[in-house]
Structure 1
Amino acid sequence: MKSICVYCGANFNGDPLLRTAIEHLAQAFVDQNIRLIYGGGSVGVMGIIADEVLKRGGEVTGVIPQFLFDMEVGHTAVTELIITENMHERKQKMADLADGFIILPGGFGTLEEFFEVLTWLQLGLHEKAIGVLNVGGYYDHLFAQMDVMVQHRLLKEKNRALVIDSDDPLVLLEKMKIFQSAPDDVWFRDKT
């Protein structure tokens, strides 16, 4: 994987555990020569991940719609900033540029982006790994809901297994690489 799209929010709650996880993820990107693709913002978790990758000498591509750029939330110090006409074009461009996806803690927008690329994977529209960095158990309840969906037979177990998760950025990246090399194997999904 040469580039990974990170979905995250424009807010940051000050959680030192999340801050440390972002720093470790940024370092892993730089160490593994992975370009960060993200939403182009300068605020919240988006701004932090971009700044941390840049500070370590990594490459960052931001993709932001014109209306958000006009609100002065665009990060103008990134390696490359792509301005799109709208949100749909932004999401498509981010997905096209990425070899995989990582979801950090975030709000509605983060979940919407996550479920969109997850649905695309389920439908066979791409074969890119999707990893959830479950910092401090942030997504535990979401995973539990997915398990309920399987129990009620409204979600197939093989599709539930498409969600790769870990609370450790290095472990998450390793699981994603395994998925990329053998996407039909789901044995690696566990709670580590």
Structure 2
Amino acid sequence: MTPPPTILLISLNLEPYFDELYTPQIDLLTKHATLQRTQTTDATLRTLTSPTPPHAVLLTDAALTQQKHVDTWDAVLQYVRNGGTAICMGHFTSFIKPPRFVPFFSRAGLAWDMEEYMRTTVCLQRRNCPDRYWGPVPDRYSQKAVFLKNVDPGDVWYRTGAESVRGMDGAAVALARVGEGRLGYIGDVNAEVDSGRVLVALCGL
């Protein structure tokens, strides 16, 4: 029997209430994968470079946006360029400082930056989402999020639409090709259950 894939949670600045807040999303992930967490740079680097690297990596906080962790971020990017998937989610969007957006994502070759922080309805961009996920993920849902700008239209999974706050056209969920792998982003700051379903899809599960 083939063992389930491993999802690595990189949590160098783990908040004590993370697991409770994100229980619905964690429970969804554990139906598809084995979860592993690292809270130190050494453990993270060992896991990323192991003979059997994880199926996907979740950046659950904003630690890797700090200059002191740039080597770890570079290791994550190398893992992605080699074919891995990394998703910025959870407390990443809650704690990242706006001036760090551009330098952080530019190391991945992306021009992503912070657009707005608000609650509004976001809509699935079906042309960018594999059709096998059209059932599991919602067509639209309300999300309080840190939205992105400067995202290639082909990389946007959820964005504002006709039902959204007017005057703002940002990406709430994105997934971009970086090398042979993918780098994703979920702007949700409130751990919506629907965002958990989206996270499972972004991880390719």
TM-score (normalised: structure 2): 0.43
Structure with greater helix share of residues: 1
TM-score (normalised: structure 1): 0.45
Structure with greater strand share of residues: 2
